[in-house]
Structure 1
Amino acid sequence: MTTALDFSEIHGGMPAEAGGKAANLGELTRAGLPVPPGWVLTTEAYALAATGLDLTADDTLAERARRHLLEAPVPDAVHETIVKRYAALGPGAPVAVRSSATAEDLPFASFAGQQETYLNIVGAEAVVEAVRRCWASLWTDRAVAYREANGIDHAAVRLAVVVQVMVDARVAGVMFTANPVTGRRRETVIDASPGLGEAVVSGAVNPDRFVAYGGEILERQAGDKRLAIRPLPGGGTERVETAEHGLCLTDAEVLRLAELGNRVEDHYGAPQDTEWAIDDGGTLWLTQARPITTLYPLPEPARPGLRVYFSLNVVQGVMGPLTPMGLAAFRLIGGGAAGVAGHGPADPLDGPAFMAVSGQRLWLDLTTALRSRPGRAILPRVLTLGEARGVALVRRLFDDPRLAPARSSRRPFLRGLARFARRVRVPSRVLLALTAPERALGYTRRVGEVLDRRLRVPATATPAQRLDHAERLLAATFPSIVSVMPIVLTGYGLFALASRLSGLSLAETQDVLRGLPHNPTTEMDLALWDLATRVEPEPFAELTVAELVRRYEAAELPPVAQRGVAAFLAAYGHRGVAEIDLGVPRWSEEPAHILGALANYLRMDAGSGLAPAALFAKGEAQAREAAARVVAAARARGRWRAPVARFALRRTRAYAGLRELPKFYLVKALSGVRHSLLAVGEHLTGLGVLAAPGDVFFLDLRETRAALAGGDLRELVARRRAEHERESRRRHVPRMLLSDGTEPEALASPAAEGALAGTAASVGTVTGRARVVLDPVGAHLEPGEILVCPSTDPGWTPLFLTAGGLVMEMGGAMSHGAVVAREYGIPAVVGVPDATHRITTGQEIEVDGAAGTVTPSSPDQAPTTSA
């Protein structure tokens, strides 16, 4: 049994023995990087100390575990090891004693500050006591809550303890090798302050901030540095008031640090969050490195030059990851889409060049459009229809010189557009929409009928035939359903024409689009409401949703309800939550959502005016009134304008609701393919290749076809399920992403008048009520309230679970509060001077985590009691 190891004996693959922090320190030491010498008391020592620890999961677990570790004697063999190893560092050597948990500094969770560190410990017995307190810190309430939030089993976690020679730092701090706020890779961000780095890490000081990229310093920002933490001669530390002026690092030191950061990143192959110190002799030391867990991964496959990616997931409101089969389906659909314009991939299963995957989510490469003049004209208009927030981001990118329009012929674009128009028959379908609305609507219905026929697969089809059918159907889906869009766009184009004829803005005429007919989503909601008016209400009022599901599946609901739910699911059961992923169950498979919605409808008062049917009828009436206003405004500008505007708005009302129809058909196709793939999965389960039929969705189409020959893919599926689960806990998904990691939405925009300025710490914008908290003990934060506080340490972490945002008076972008805010995905601004006095509890504020601003809605509002 090994209870202690020198750093030189440890490598990055030993977190089980040494914990995450020590494994990284050993890896850095073996790589020849400047790490202060030290050793680690291994997890075996902790296991000996924790013998007899009761890990029964209940509300007292954390308290019981802490008490056991603090009160039980340190095992003799462990005590002897600590004393001998400490003596080997030199007589009376001051050391840092630092927790190193097995669940720490992980690629998906940093656990920043969750366990304890004790600085400038002098004497063997003082080290023994610090070790004991580090062990106990594995069981603080915040560490337990953090593990639970990240799905980590308490019983599987152990703690090692690092004992490392202290650096008597002249200046110290933290360094990120990628910008943690904007995401830009290789842009080094450094926070620095005189004394020990704990002042920066804990957020106790507003540090100096430096940003470097490509051997140049892009930004120098002086902090107030009113406090320094310094070692005391006999052990321990003190906080000293300072009056530092100017910057605490020279340009040469900043560039030396950036070069060291690049070496660390190159060694690990990924951006790193590091801690560093410079001693009085000017020697640069590296005291910690761990992955930056909050950066969004870069899209794959990588393509040369700067690329601009747009999130298909965000547009569809599916923030979670897609299954491997869901991604494979979209590659095939995308290949079909590219083929319509004559740019299909050589192998349809590879997907088109404009589609990429990152974080198990889909991204569209907009670079070609952004770098062409026709694309710049068309793209903002297209985004306006479905993703208005992206318009401002795209227009901002127009000013980036790296994305200047390429000097190339427009002929390829025009040829592709013409080919697309021919394949989709745009001219004839626009003419049909203008001249024969009933025929145009009939065509959209026929597209659905043809799709229904294509979805049929003979019950006798072999697994290979089912795969063939799935691939053919997915490849043909886009060309089929997109043929509806010329009719839809005719309706919106005529709406814009009517607005122009009337002289009213589009915003002033929006009510014309209320209560639209032919919208399959609206029709679905109204069908469910109609069912609610006909079913027997008793079981829905009395039973849980789980019991309603059981009775429905056993055909034990009252007859009208049983038949009505079955009919509804026959029409709409292909839909579901996150329905663009064919790996996700449909309502027909898991009807809990529909039965729950039905129960909610039955609680509504049908005569209150809030019922869906009443709201839809009210919308129709408002639309008629709005149309009459538009026509009247057009008549006032010229008699001929009125009949044209009236004609245009009739067509608009007929076609605009069809906007949802292509997705409705797409989801129906995905549901049909899902049904067929489940049959393939059942076959593979029978062969022993998979553990369950649903596991087929954690393979792609190529892998599924190869699996028909046999083999065992259960371990691969288990690994992918675990990866999918981890990715599903990601709290922030960018709307747009550059290939260098930059999130355009995170780039600072001009501060609003009256805004309080600080340091951008965690991307996002939130508006909510402020809660000023000066002490976390006993403090209460309602969900969504914005925490406003002087500073934070790990003791504040439980409040972050309900906070909608964070504002701190102290700290930099790498202080503890900022790191945890990024991990929890809440917008944060730090270093806001006097924030706890300038903001009052109950006041509504807007926190812009990208711009680094806090904007109070009413600065003169009378203060209320602070927590």
Structure 2
Amino acid sequence: MIIRHLSELSRADLPIAGGKGANLGELIRLGLAVPPGFVVTAETYAEQARAWLLAEQLAAPIAASNWEAAAATAAELCLRGALLPAVELAVRDAYRELGAPLVAVRSSATAEDLADASFAGQHETYLQVEGESALLLSLRRCWASLWTPRALGYRAARNIDHLGVAIAVVVQRMVQSEFAGVLFTVDPVDQRSDRMLVELAPGLGEAIVSGHTSGDIYHLSRPPDAGKPGAEGPAITDRARRVAGRPAPSDALVRELARIGLRLEGHFGCPQDVEFAFAGGVVHLLQSRPITTLRDVELETIPPLPPLSRMQRRMLESNDNDRFPVAPKPLDQWGFGMVLPALGHTLRFAGFAVDEAELHTPTDQVWREVFVPPRVRPTLRLLALPRTVAASLSHDWAGWWENEALPRILDVCDSADLGAMDDAALLRRADRIGDVLTETLGKRFEGIVGQAATLLVRIPVVFAVGRKRAPALMGDLVSGLRTRTSEVNEALFDLSRQAVGAGPEVTRPLRDGRPDALRESEAGRAFLREVDAFLAEHGYRESTGLFLSATMWRRDPTPLWGLLRGLLDATEPPSEAAGLRRHRAALAEVTRALRFIPGLGVAFERIVERLRTAIVFRERSHFDLARLFSALQDIIAELARRLHERGHLPVPEDIFYLTQAELRIWLAGQVPPRSEIEQLVRRRRATYAVVNGRWQKWSFAVGKQGDAADLLRGVGASSGVVRGKARVIRDEHEFERLRAGEILVCPYTNPAWTPLFTLAAGVVTNTGGAVSHAAIVAREYGIPAVLGAAGATERIADGQEILVDGNEGLVTLLRTVSAGEAAHG
């Protein structure tokens, strides 16, 4: 394809759009202000280069490292060679479609803007380009800039194959900016991770980027959780005016830029270098790329992924992408150390042998590319698995939970004055919570083993309705359940009704994304008391998995505010009655088909009912187990505060870059010098950015691949068919972007995401299965859902029209969207 609109692109499109083009597409998907435009793809450059025989003519000078000769040869071809007619026509048409405005023409190499090399300044940018002839000349010059002596030397120093690099070209409408410049989310000059740096000047930002002028310098603080709606925002701590009397933007606009920068840092997983323009009181983003100049220290060792057995791979594909959507930080291993013994107990209970050393290998490593389940070996006990599953289904797990497990959880998590405890007492409290977590979780897993009965249920279902309809009917059989997740969602919906009933003094701050403004009115303060009551009862909801570093709603209600904003326009959610009707209809259909085998229909009904009970138990116990993680997070937050006040941590949140062993040693008084601590944190932050990137790539790689360009396959987790506009929501900070009637497309879901189903007309996820949280709630709300559609968030454009078939497990990509539709969607 010669031309791709920016609104069609994402990070996954780096091979065709280059680093700059792919990142701009990602910014548009985040709903941020990006000037509209298009990309002349790297494939187009490659085709044109082949027509010019460029590689053949450059082979000799490149082999001799004669950069000047190679550059001269490339320039002659790029600037004077005949353009392919189809390329010239496509560029002219795309420019006219954009309105033939003044444009910026920017190079975007396929090795550009990566985490380990930014290529900043290596390729050309042309501004204020007007007219088709000038655009085509600028395109040629961008292609030629791939082969300048400077670019050739830069690639050679980094061992990058010259002939393996292609270049795309970004064409964007010019922003006639009042001010422009560059934001660094971490100060790269003083190597300080606790503050941000902005350099800006009146007019276009290219003068600053190219070094032709000096802008005014702003330093801003980075308080914990800054950048999240409702949290304390970055504050300007000092500024240096380079030219006396020169105009300056408002402080509010600079702080808004900083908040956007922190959001981008969180999204891309590493500190960002952001080019921007201020125009009409709006922050326009022109580029975002990793800051590579922070790498003054080497990355820590990342162990290679070990060979995986077939069973390990299947376990990984079925669970971990959904449960662990992001990579854990070093201190998160503490939590894994509590969970892994329970996992080992469960595997042995089911009939497998587990090597104890291998079970603990993950927690012995600071870093890993993906969570690898331990290798298991079947034993003779595995032959008794059907009997084990039957016994598990027959056991009263709900009674055990209410009478034994939950009282222990509530006792060990009882309220306490953490600030009055010394360090040793806090650690003892954490260890007691960990002991209860391990023991309770192991016993709970015995109850969840009963869900293996799903395989037994599927056999008669396939016999009754055929393999094609079986997935949808399996979903209907477990519809209409009253779970802890549905109770929380109903309470949240009721809270949104209270907001609507309170009038504009409450709804206006919610719609504006300013929950702090609720304190300005009596109605707002009354509503805040209702929110506090909701969080006290229902606030044990995790954001990105049960990680110690992933705060609950009760500590960080940012996702809650986003959900409330969306629910203001929601209608009454469906009752359980619809789900129960689907359940009864599915049960009747299967039992009718089984009536020729005496007793089989009755046995089938009994197993289905026990399976439904097991799912309800799983949902309830999951919620209560989150209390233990929440209590641990309270302890860690208190320890982080102390270490920060003692001058040991640059910012409190840096505690998650320590290991459990390091934390205990520090609290015992053996603290390294501050300079070593800052270097450790910088090294770990940089390493985490790489690890998290690999984690995400692995999560995508293990999914299903090879679908047609306009088709995605997944699991039909909730029956029905719906056609509508896709809204791509990548994390909990984007909840408020979903509008009623849109189709939610997201990487994964956990219980915290499911209130969005009140608004959604359908659901599509990258990961998940028919008995996941998302599937249960989607069936309850009667909306079609296709889960486990690998790559959905990359293949589906925000605002694109799609068809979701929950019966077949298919998603069809229909009409694409224009840049204007995406921006105003």
TM-score (norm 1): 0.44
Greater percentage in helix: 2
Look at both structures and tell me which one has the larger radius of gyration over its CA atoms.
Answer: 1
